[in-house]
Structure 1
Amino acid sequence: MAQMQSDATRWRERALAVMPVGSSTNSKAPALLPEEPEVIVRGRGCRVWDDRGREFIDYRNALGPVTLGYADARVDAAIRAQLDDGILFGHPHPLETTTAELFCSLVPGAEAARFLKTGGEALAALIRIARAHTGHDRIVQIGYNGWLNSLAPGARVLPGATSAQVPGVPAALAELHHAVDWDDRETLDELFAAHGSQIALILVAADYPSVPGATDFYRHLRATADAHGALLGYDEMVTGFRVALGGMAEFTGVLPDLSVFGKGVANGMPLSVYCGRRDVLSVLDRGEVVVSSTYGGETLSLAAASATMSAMRDDGVIPHLHAAGARLQTGMNALFAAAGVELRLVGHPTCPQFVAEDERMLQTFLRAAFRHGLSFYRVVYVNAAHTDADIDETLQRVHAALAEVRT
């Protein structure tokens, strides 16, 4: 593999010189140099390589979207076949319809679906649709709903960060958005007591460590929305096609009125889906709400999504993610306990999250993991290419990394 940088000029320095944060995605910008890769240049299966030729067993998976594995042959073949016929046209391509049909057949409560490119814009579409359908203006937000929709004082401006007032958001707009913490039923009930007749939508993104026991809270959200004439919306960007094929709707058995999906649906190709009850989405048919994007029907992403969803439906991908994730989570937690290190992986095995009493300990461990060829993120994602042998090798490397952490 050709060397992609000189020793004198690092990618991080070059990136910071021409773009804020040094990456277009905040969470991808390396913060643990020199152990962490500055750039990744190649991926295959469950492994990635940086510009220096270092190989890592990867548990970032592009921050969640790579569910089948890097360079999956089924997805790549679908993309190449469609590339020969064209990427984008001035009329709908049949893939728009067939991909929507497949999606709706797999996701409980999805009576209709449309496509965009990112989670943020799909969530913005949901908010506008909910306001138009209900005639109400206020939005309750639980969890991180993307940078575009982090509007409420105290909302998640990043998955792990909140802000008392979001810079760049006018106070008049922020006043209509209300942040509620996970399972904070008291605050939720107080909000509805004060503004129930004005709330259009409860928009909830699952708290990853709390996913295994989330059903009761989702039932409470459903009952609260129904009692006040509000809609219930699920942010399934992470949980969809990972926790279950149909996301939290399938996992909990509690159906929402609207949902957004994205990560996992197209194995890394840019695509988001907003979906839900046909009568709610009919505000789009009537022209009351306009949500439209030139690139919504881009065919390479739709071809990738059809191949990805078909593989998930037919090839037992979700059970494999559960088994591989559980093997990793159980093994790592046993190693942490044996080493006396105050770290744990908590939550659903397909997307558990590191929990640490001391943030410095987590950073120290992650640095050591990078040194031993393991690429972790705060949320740990397995993909379908992680075999038992890969998990066992990972655990061996974790054991070696922990030996450095203790010394």
Structure 2
Amino acid sequence: MEIRADAGWRERALAVMPVGSSTNSKAPALLPEEPEVIVRGLGARVWDDRGREFIDYRCALGPITLGHADPRVDAAIRDQLRDGILFGHPHPLETTTAELFCSLVPGAEAARFLKTGGEALAAVIRIARAHTGRDRVVQIGYNGWLNSLAAGARVLPGATSASVPGVPAGLAALHHAVGWGDDEALDALFRAHGSEIALILVAADYPSVPSSAGFYRRLRERADAHGALLAYDEMVTGFRVALGGMSEASGVVPDLAVFGKGVANGMPLAVYCGRRDVLGVLDRGEVVVTSTYGGETLSLAAATTTMTIMRDERIPERLHERGAQLQNGLNDAFADAGAPFRLEGHPTCPQFVGEQEPIDGFLRAAFSHGLSLYRVVYVNAAHTAEDVAETIRRARSALAEVGR
């Protein structure tokens, strides 16, 4: 394979890597304004290979909650690195990190670790099927690529597919995609298959988070009435909307849940947790979920430090305050510019809602003005009030440029 000597990172990546990135949503689509690669991050800022600095609201698509290169988390990783990364027996951090996690998350009577949300969600589905003796799963929202099994389900956070190539038809038929808040479709599903449904697996609809408690309550009631389990996909909402995610924010506790992005400030770690009796299928050997890297110590050390800081310094409240400043300021700027879009949802993870082409035009211009934004806008604890004020000024300049 021959690549031009002057090829850019995007061209080089596409030559050796499908999509040009291992994470679809990170592949740049708004070049040349958007960075091809990011090489460094500190606090609320990131830099690309050309030396351009950006105020960062992508935050690695959510995992950076404290800020890039947080010195306390980095110190915990370095301290553990001196003692080792991975062993042939459990390290004490496996137990102590699980203890801390369970003390913070409502309904988490027990917890185990994996590396990614997709595999943790796959574990939850298998556990639910084994516990209930049923096969059907209801999917609401984006549950990761591994669990986009139902026709019409989210295959990416902003995209659905009428079919599921690569998934056997018999398996896809056992997964049912339902839209957020679609009580009518849920009632029809339970009338037709109520005794066969093992699990309702729900990921929050970001624009609807502030008013979601009623829907979560109705899901809990349906699951209980039909002997099904309820599971929350907290990959984004956990440790961001609240420490305990949507179970804390809504007051409705699920049977199972999956956390990840907010737990370790960027280190790779996913947690699946829930009722001890449901997870008992693992103790009894009825279901095997196991991974060599589940107890990798650097991520556990990072998670312990991250969760402790988030608890002791009330980080979700700080994210809420800073996110509200950003969301309100940007929406004022959009309204003043007559833009056909706005940010809706919880201040810690609001989403662009409106016409896609103008949104893309603004995001492209925002990159030119040193703002790294995404369709979901994430703040982290390193963003200051001054950072947000500067962001709003730059956004107004970008809107004016788009208008011209």
Question: Deviation string for 1:128-183 (max 9, x for gaps)?
Answer: 00000000000000000000010001000111111111100000000100000000
Output aligned runs, 1:222-261, within 5 Å.
222-261=220-259
1:96 equivalent in structure 2: 94
1:175 equivalent in structure 2: 173
1:401 equivalent in structure 2: 398
Q: What is the deviation of 1:88?
A: 0.1
Distance (whole Å) between structure 2 residues aligned to residue 359 and residue 102 of structure 1: 41
* Counterpart residue type for residue 173 of structure 2: E
Asked if 1:74 corresponds to 2:34, the answer is: no
SS of residue matched to 1:345: strand
Q: Which runs of 5+ in 1 are unaligned?
A: 1-5
* Counterpart residue type for residue 62 of structure 2: G
Output aligned runs, 1:185-196, within 5 Å.
185-196=183-194
Distance (whole Å) between structure 2 residues aligned to residue 176 and residue 9 of structure 1: 46
Question: Deviation string for 1:23-42 (max 9, x for gaps)?
Answer: 00000000000000000000
Q: What is the deviation of 1:399?
A: 0.9
1:268 to 262, 266, 269: 266
Output aligned runs, 1:108-257, within 5 Å.
108-257=106-255
SS of residue matched to 1:360: helix
Asked if 1:385 corresponds to 2:382, the answer is: yes
Output aligned runs, 1:325-364, within 5 Å.
325-356=323-354, 358-364=355-361
Distance (whole Å) between structure 1 residues aligned to residue 197 and residue 303 of structure 2: 34
* Counterpart residue type for residue 243 of structure 1: V
**How much identity, in percent, do the aligned residues show?**
79
Distance (whole Å) between structure 1 residues aligned to residue 337 and residue 61 of structure 2: 28
Question: Deviation string for 1:3-29 (max 9, x for gaps)?
Answer: xxx992200000000000000000000
* Counterpart residue type for residue 374 of structure 1: L
* Counterpart residue type for residue 384 of structure 1: A
Distance (whole Å) between structure 2 residues aligned to residue 79 and residue 310 of structure 1: 15
Question: Deviation string for 1:209-235 (max 9, x for gaps)?
Answer: 000000000000000000000000000
* Counterpart residue type for residue 242 of structure 1: R
Question: Deviation string for 1:302-322 (max 9, x for gaps)?
Answer: 000000000000012111100
Count of residue pairs brought into register by the alignment = 401
Distance (whole Å) between structure 2 residues aligned to residue 65 and residue 80 of structure 1: 20
Q: Which runs of 5+ in 2 are unaligned?
A: none
Question: Deviation string for 1:360-379 (max 9, x for gaps)?
Answer: 10111001100000000000
Q: What is the deviation of 1:405?
A: 1.2
* Counterpart residue type for residue 361 of structure 2: T
User: How well do the aligned residues superpose, as a CA RMSD in angstroms?
Assistant: 0.8
Distance (whole Å) between structure 2 residues aligned to residue 146 and residue 364 of structure 1: 27
* Counterpart residue type for residue 267 of structure 1: N
Question: Deviation string for 1:269-317 (max 9, x for gaps)?
Answer: 0000000000000000000000000000000000000000000000121
SS of residue matched to 1:84: helix
Change over 3 Å in CA distance of 1:314–1:349 after alignment to 2: same
TM-score, normalised by the number of residues in structure 1:
0.98
* Counterpart residue type for residue 372 of structure 2: S
SS of residue matched to 2:323: helix
Distance (whole Å) between structure 1 residues aligned to residue 338 and residue 145 of structure 2: 37
Distance (whole Å) between structure 2 residues aligned to residue 360 and residue 138 of structure 1: 38
Question: Deviation string for 1:45-86 (max 9, x for gaps)?
Answer: 000000000000000000000000000011000000000000
4+ residue segments displaced more than 3 Å: none
2:362 equivalent in structure 1: 365
2:296 equivalent in structure 1: 298
Distance (whole Å) between structure 2 residues aligned to residue 173 and residue 360 of structure 1: 36
Distance (whole Å) between structure 1 residues aligned to residue 161 and residue 123 of structure 2: 23
2:310 equivalent in structure 1: 312
1:3 equivalent in structure 2: none
SS of residue matched to 2:83: coil
SS of residue matched to 2:177: strand
Question: Deviation string for 1:233-288 (max 9, x for gaps)?
Answer: 00000000000010000000000000000001000000000000000000000000
Distance (whole Å) between structure 2 residues aligned to residue 336 and residue 134 of structure 1: 49
1:375 to 365, 372, 378: 372
Distance (whole Å) between structure 1 residues aligned to residue 337 and residue 31 of structure 2: 25
Distance (whole Å) between structure 1 residues aligned to residue 196 and residue 318 of structure 2: 44
* Counterpart residue type for residue 336 of structure 1: F
SS of residue matched to 1:391: helix
Question: Deviation string for 1:88-144 (max 9, x for gaps)?
Answer: 000000000000000000000000000000000000000000000000000000000
* Counterpart residue type for residue 283 of structure 1: V
